[in-house]
Structure 1
C-alpha cells in the first residue's frame, strides 16, 4: 500500500498586513515617545517644588528668584512650560548677569527627587581698582558742572565695573582716570577696558610698591597713548601703551637705581619714557 504524504500549505501573509505591520511599529514608537514626553514635560509633575539661592552676599535672593521665575512659565514649542528639565539655562544665566552686574557667574543644581532648584551665584566682591571716565567739557560749559562728567566705578580683575566707587576708597585702591578723547563713558555692568591693559597698570603699581617702596596714587590715560602714573612723592612717570610696559618699567627701575638716589626722588618733577630706549627726567 502506497502512502501519500500531504504537505501543509502555509498561507503567505498578504501585502496589506505587511504594510500595516510596518506602519504600526513606528506609530507605536512615536506614541510611546509622545506619552513619555508629555509625562516629563507636559504636566506639572516636574515643575520646581522650591527655588533656593546660594552664594549671595550683596545680591538680593528674592530678586534673583523673581528674575528666574518667568523661565518656568514660558511655553516651549507652544506646548510645554519650562520645568527642571527644559528651562532655558543659558537664557536664565544671561538674564541674571544682565540684571545684576555684581554677578559674574551662575550655575544651576537640580535635585530630581525633590524637584528642588538651587541657583548658585558667584559675585564680584573684590575691587582691584577704581575706574573713572572723564569727558572734556565744551568751553561754554560752566566749570561747576565738571563733576557731572566723571563717572567712577569699582572694577574687578576682569575689568568689569560692578558698583559705584566711594570717594573714601581713593586712598585704598589705585585710581585710573581715562581722559582720552576717543573714549566712551562706561556704565555698571560693562567692561571698561581690556583685561590685559588693566593687568599692565596694576603691574606698574605692584612693581614699585615691592621693589622701590614707591607708591602710585593714580594713573591718568591721555591722548594719544600716554599713561601717566602719579606717585605719592608728588612726581610723575610718563609711559606709552603702544610699547611693552614691562620694558619701560625695567628702564625706569634702572634709571632710579643708577642715576636718581632715593634722597633726591622727592625733588623730581617727572620721568619721561615715551622715547624708545631712552629715559629723560627733570627736577623741579
Structure 2
C-alpha cells in the first residue's frame, strides 16, 4: 500500500513597489509644489508687494508720521527673506497704533486695494471747545496734579491736545481728574451737550453772549456773561425751562438798564433768585 505524500505549497514573495512609482507620492508631491508656488506668490512675488500708500483726511498730522507707523508694520522677515506682501499687512494693528499714537485722530479707516495699494482715510477730531482743570480755592494742590491746564475737546468730551483759552467755548471745571492724558474723556458727553445747548439758546433766544462756563459741582454750572454778571444753572435739571425762567425774569422783573449791574441770576431752584452788585 502506497503512502500519500501531500504536496507542499510554494509561496512567492511580492516585491515592494518603489515609493517613486506610487500614485499617492506624486499626488502629494504635486500638491506640495502647488502649495509652495501659491505661498511664493502671496509672500514674495513683486506684484503683491506694497508699492503705494494713499493717505487722506489728515490736516494737522503729517503724512510722513502716518507713513512711518505703516511702514513698520509692512516690512516683515520670514526666515532670512524680507517681504512687504499686502496679504500680511494687519489693518487692525495699524489702526490701533495710529489711534494710540495720535489722540487727535477720531477715526481711521484702512483698506487694501489689490494688488499692492494701501488706502488710509483719517478723521481728525473737531474742537467743540476748550476744557480747563481748575482747583477749588479751598483745596491745596497735590503733587502730580495738573492745575489750570487747558485742552481742546471734541463733541464727545475727549481731550486731544493742549491749548490756551482764546475765543469760543471755554469750560473750567473743579470736578475733574487729578491728571489728564491726551485721548482721555474729561467731561461727560451729556453735560457737554447741556452746555452747548445753553450757549446756543442764550445767544439765539435772549441775545446773551457767554465768555466762560464754570463747573463747580454736578448740580451747579456758573455761566459768565460778556457784561460780567453770572447765571447759575443746574445741568441736571430741565435746561429749556431754566432758560425760559431766565427770559421771564429779565423781561418782567429786571429793567434793561439795570442788567449790567447784576451780580448773578440763580435758576437752580423752584424760585429764581437774583442779586445786584
| TM superposition score normalised by structure 2 | 0.76
Q: Give the aligned partner of residue 46 of structure 1.
A: 48
How many Å separate the matches in 2 of 1:25 and 1:250?
84
Secondary structure of 2:183's partner? coil
Q: Give the aligned partner of residue 123 of structure 1.
A: 124
Report if the CA contact (8 A) 1:71-1:82 is conserved.
Answer: no
Contiguous gaps of at least 5 residues in structure 1: 1-19, 142-146
Which of these residues, 169, 174, 194, is aligned with residue 169 of structure 2?
174
How many Å separate the matches in 2 of 1:232 and 1:271?
14
Q: Give the aligned partner of residue 282 of structure 1.
A: 275
Which structure is larger by alpha-carbon Rg, 1 or 2?
A: 2
How many Å separate the matches in 2 of 1:30 and 1:192?
57
Shift of the 127–21 alpha-carbon distance from structure 1 to 2, 3 Å rule, reads: same
For residues 241-280 of structure 1, the aligned pairs below 5 Å read 241-275=235-269, 277-280=270-273
Secondary structure of 1:85's partner? helix
The alignment yields a C-alpha RMSD, in angstroms, of 3.4
Alpha-carbon distance, 1:260 to partner: 2.3
Contiguous gaps of at least 5 residues in structure 2: 1-21
Alpha-carbon distance, 1:35 to partner: 5.0
Report if the CA contact (8 A) 2:262-2:275 is conserved.
Answer: yes
Report if the CA contact (8 A) 2:130-2:169 is conserved.
Answer: yes
For residues 161-200 of structure 1, the aligned pairs below 5 Å read 161-167=159-165, 169=166, 172-180=167-175, 183-200=177-194
Shift of the 164–28 alpha-carbon distance from structure 1 to 2, 3 Å rule, reads: same
How many Å separate the matches in 2 of 1:189 and 1:213?
35
